[in-house]
Homo-oligomer: A and B are copies of this chain.
Amino acid sequence: MRFTFLGTSAGTPTASRNVTALALAVDGKRDWYLFDCGEGTQHRLLKSRYSSARLKAIFITHVHGDHCYGLPGLIASANMSGRKEPLTICAPDGIEQYVRNTFAFTDVHNLRFPLHFVRTDDQGFQYDDGQISVQAIAMSHRVPCFAFQVKEHPVYHLDESALDALEVPRGPLWGLLQQGESVALDDGRLVRAEQVRCAAWAPRSAIIGGDNDKPDLLLSALQESDLLVHEATFTEDVLARVGPQYMHSTAAMVAKTAENAKLKHLLLTHFSQRYRSGSGAKEYSVNDLYKEAKLYYQGNLQLAEDLQSYQLEKDKALTRL
């Protein structure tokens, strides 16, 4: 699973960071998924390996503009580029109205592809396209906001020795068993898939968080996750000064949750624009966020950068590409 950060700034863009968006692709596949879509996401995509033509679904964590103002332009540009495939947009209440109103007032009337909006704030929301499944976990923020737990579907290998032992003849029956079907042999015996196949690797699972001031809400989901992408808008000292009303997390808060969950990989993002990159940073540096998180978290800690990709390997190692 390849995570590419298209924006890592909170609220407003900076000269080096855009507002929030994240591309996810499963290994070498060209189809991809977009998580949040701040203004300028389509611009960032022009510098990435992804194009709107192969975008399979969009997931929006919440209605704040730095997470969704790129939607109308991205969709309109995909339309001008000739996209015909339907596009699924999973988002809370408000996003569909925002997009459809925008189009109504700006002369976008006949998209060449349908938009399928799915409400993430509906009970029982689940996205599943046979490659990944996505569930929504309610966060704590100024508006309804959701983290997305992404799980890949297992890929199965057939156990040839088991097939031979059961005397299953080579051919279409093998294919059916690999797909999870049970098959009846000529001699009347029934062979079930789980007798002859096993997952090629333990499926990977990651959580892509939304804005949130209670990282512990993710504690139980993290038990079955390899990686967490979560906002760390402030350091503790800054939060103490600006106050809690914006309902964001500090690097320390997220780090403590990740440590409690014994999480393998933590990717922090969504940094307040006051934190600057590079060694010339004056008052506030993104290094402050790193240092603060490091105090509380023993796992693999990374601070996201725009256009940086991370590959969660099948063996659960995380490779910075």
Chain-B contact segment, one of A37-45, A168-176, A295-303: A37-45
Q: Within the assembled complex, what's the spacing in Å between the Cα atoms of A42 and B11? A: 12
**A39 and B105 contact, Cβ closer than 8 Å, known pairs A46-B14, A47-B15:** no
Which residues of chain B are within 8 angstroms of A70 by Cβ–Cβ distance? 39
**A contact residues, total (Cβ < 8 Å):** 38
A55 vs chain B, min Cβ distance (A): 15
Q: Within the assembled complex, what's the spacing in Å between the Cα atoms of A63 and B108? A: 10
Contact with B along A295-315 (1 / 0, CB 8 A): 000000000000000000000
Contact with B along A37-78 (1 / 0, CB 8 A): 001101100110000000000000001111011101100110
**A107 and B64 contact, Cβ closer than 8 Å, known pairs A47-B15, A69-B73:** yes
Which residues of chain B are within 8 angstroms of A43 by Cβ–Cβ distance? 13, 18, 39-40, 43
> Is the pair B105, A97 in contact by a Cβ cutoff of 8 Å?
yes
- Of all chain B residues, the one with the shortest Cβ separation from A38 is B73
| CB-CB contacts below 8 Å: A62-99 with B | 63-66, 68-70, 72-73, 76-77, 80-81, 94-95, 97-98
A161 at the interface (CB under 8 A from B): no
A317 at the interface (CB under 8 A from B): no
A277 at the interface (CB under 8 A from B): no
**A65 and B76 contact, Cβ closer than 8 Å, known pairs A15-B47, A98-B106, A102-B98:** yes
- Of all chain B residues, the one with the shortest Cβ separation from A62 is B107
Q: Within the assembled complex, what's the spacing in Å between the Cα atoms of A108 and B98? A: 12
A143 at the interface (CB under 8 A from B): yes
A307 vs chain B, min Cβ distance (A): 12
Known A15-B47, A68-B106, A101-B105; 18 more pairs at CB < 8 Å:
A39-B43, A39-B69, A39-B70, A63-B106, A64-B106, A64-B107, A65-B108, A66-B73, A66-B76, A69-B69, A69-B72, A69-B76, A69-B102, A94-B106, A94-B107, A98-B101, A98-B106, A101-B102
- Interface, chain A (partner B; CB < 8 A): 11-15, 18-19, 39-40, 42-43, 46-47, 63-66, 68-70, 72-73, 76-77, 80-81, 94-95, 97-98, 101-102, 105-108, 142-143
